[in-house]
Amino acid sequence: MSNTKIIPVGPYHPLQEEPELFKLYCEGEIVKDIKWETGYNHRGIEKLAESKTFDQVFFLVERICGICSTSHPFAFANAMEEIAGVDIPNRAKYIRSIIGELERIHSHLLWVGLAGHFLGYNTVFMWAWKYREPILDLFEMITGNRNSYAMFKVGGVRRDIPMALIPEVRKAMDGFKPKLDLLIGAVMDDPVIHARTKGVGVLTHQDIIQFAAVGPTARASGVDIDVRRDDPYAAYDMVDWKVIVTGEGDVFAKAYVRLLEMVESVSIIEQCLDGLEKEPEGDTEVKVKNIPEGMGTGRAEAPRGEVFHFVVTDGGYGPVRHKIRAPSYVNIATFKKSCIGQTISDATISLAAVDPCYCCTERMAVAVDQRTGNMLYSGEDLLKLSHMKTEEIRKKQ
Amino acid sequence: MAFKDFIFRKSLWLFHFGGASCNNCDIEILDCLTPRYDVERFGMLLVGSIRHADVLLVNGSINHKDKERLLELYRQAPKPILVVAIGACGCTGGIFAGGYPFAGPVDQIIPVDAYIPGCPPKPEAILSGIVQLIEKKKTEKAHA
């Protein structure tokens, strides 16, 4: 342990679902162990949910995570509808799916941008975030807010997508497709990105099973799971789409899965719009007066993986117990496997690949020599290390 | 104080502290940097260390674990520093105000110069809030 240096990364990362502190135990440049500490973002949501009515809980769970702010209401609505035993109208199903997929697009774009930033491709960062803006505009048009959409309620959706708005959504999707192709081309054909991400942060099929990882992290390692297909909810069994699975398990595979998922999302949205045109306008909810006593589980596929909600009701106005499991909770544990044995410059992108959304410039990341207490690396230095490696590879190409 | 006020007139450097938030404000702050809003044209830059910052942006409700760290950051900050509370949670605690980990809105922990409400505030609102803060500093100087 005498040569081991600790590099704390965190705890404040403006883009993460949960601010948390990672300690990288390094010997030379090789990461030997990793530990993490959470709790900076604890808000007591499960307890708060017990003090709110069912309608209010939607606004609360929406604010668990701002990036996947539809997945949690989605899962909660699924749980509540299981308890109440209601089947929502088709129009509401389509609208739910549209919102869910738009969210997936904006979340994956956000990730692609950040991954580019870590590799020293700030152009990719700026591009991806620029193309994300029309998606947010679409959200604002449909729901009235750029994030936190407040679209869900027990038995349906709060707002309809009027027929007049459908061509607008189609136009935005048509405008987005060439940009997505451009972005996919930029990532897939770039030899430097290949060199930086292939074989880095590999998670095998076995690792995923052991860590119970979910979402794109699992699908990039050949584990074929997707709640949208395995336990269909909303309109996902009424449209034609496929689950993107690849086997390599490295950072490149995770990028590949996310990029192609966006193509699928666009296709799902377009099919939902077709379905929406056939349904009568305004048929967006079933009135649910009383929620009976019971227990219900709801699952939804968030951009990062499976969201799971368990709700117990006693026939009153609010839940008596509300248990939530978010995807990052299990995915973060895979760092134990993906980062150990890597160089520090690769650790940054390996951590980011799971999409806890790492962003380096705004963070305090400092390496401290254990014996002397001298600071060795700041967050910017870490980023610089990563950028330097990219530069070297670029020169060799 | 004239010299210190002069510092605030141009090229504010921002340090961002995300408390126990839902991330929406964090994303919208980062969004300000990207091509559509491009906060850097005002000379503003997000910096990695509080010691380089002129403005401390705080968003999210503050829980007991964050509180100590926020106080420590404020202590380390070069004075004078402007503190901006962003979002409903930063201003009042928002939806999380009733929770057991809640340690008080930002202004009960450190002095706050500007509030930008919204859940989350749009990037335009964040820009407008900070620009208004600069304007306020300028007029204060004119009166002095």
In CATH, what number is assigned to the domain containing residue B64?
Answer: 3.40.50.12280
The residue segments making up the domain with residue B70 are 2-143
ipTM over 0.90: no
**What mean pLDDT do residues A307-314 have?**
92
**How confident is the model at residue B140, as a pLDDT?**
72
**How confident is the model at residue B125, as a pLDDT?**
92
Distance from CA of A232 to the nearest CA of B (A): 27
pLDDT higher than 90, residue A260: yes
Using a CB–CB cutoff of 8 Å, tell me whether A17 touches chain B: yes
Residue A364 and residue B48: Cβ atoms within 8 Å?
Answer: yes
**How confident is the model at residue A319, as a pLDDT?**
92
Distance from CA of A129 to the nearest CA of B (A): 6
**How confident is the model at residue A263, as a pLDDT?**
94
pLDDT higher than 50, residue A357: no
Per residue in A141-163, pLDDT (tens digit) is 999 888 888 899 998 999 999 99
**How confident is the model at residue A102, as a pLDDT?**
93
Residue A63 and residue B25: Cβ atoms within 8 Å?
Answer: no
Low-confidence ranges of chain B (pLDDT < 50): none
pLDDT higher than 80, residue A181: yes
Residue A42 and residue B63: Cβ atoms within 8 Å?
Answer: yes
**How confident is the model at residue B94, as a pLDDT?**
87
Which residues of B are less than 8 Å from A126 in CB distance?
34-35
Pick from A101-110, A263-272, A368-377, B107-116: least confident: A368-377
**How confident is the model at residue A10, as a pLDDT?**
62
Q: Total domain count for chain B?
A: 1
Q: State CA A179 to chain mean position distance.
A: 21
The mean of the pLDDT values for chain A is 83
Pinpoint the residues of chain A covered by CATH 1.10.645.10: 46-329
Which residues of A are less than 8 Å from B24 in CB distance?
63, 66-67, 69, 147-148
**How confident is the model at residue A362, as a pLDDT?**
28
**How confident is the model at residue A356, as a pLDDT?**
58
The SS3 assignment for A324 reads strand
pLDDT higher than 90, residue A274: yes
What backbone torsions phi and psi does residue B55 show, to the nearest 5 degrees?
-130, 135
Percentage above 90 pLDDT, chain A: 39
Residue A147 and residue B24: Cβ atoms within 8 Å?
Answer: yes
Q: Report how far residue B100's alpha carbon sits from residue A148's, in angstroms, rounded to the nearest whole number.
A: 23
Q: What confidence tier does A166 reach under pLDDT thresholds 50, 70, 90?
A: very high
**How confident is the model at residue A320, as a pLDDT?**
93
**How confident is the model at residue A375, as a pLDDT?**
45
Q: Report how far residue A80's alpha carbon sits from residue A317's, in angstroms, rounded to the nearest whole number.
A: 12
The yes or no reply on domain A46-329 and CATH 1.10.645.10 is yes
Burial A68-102 (b: 16+ CB within 10 A, else e): bbbbbbbbbbbbbbebbebebbbbbbbbbbbbbbb
**How confident is the model at residue B12, as a pLDDT?**
85
The SS3 assignment for A346 reads helix
Per residue in B112-144, pLDDT (tens digit) is 999 999 988 999 999 899 888 888 877 776 555
Report the candidate in A310, A378, A389 with the shortest Cα–Cα distance to residue A9. Answer: A378
**What mean pLDDT do residues A31-48 have?**
80
pLDDT higher than 70, residue A47: yes
Q: What ranges make up the beta strands (E) of A201-347?
A: 293-302, 305-314, 319-325
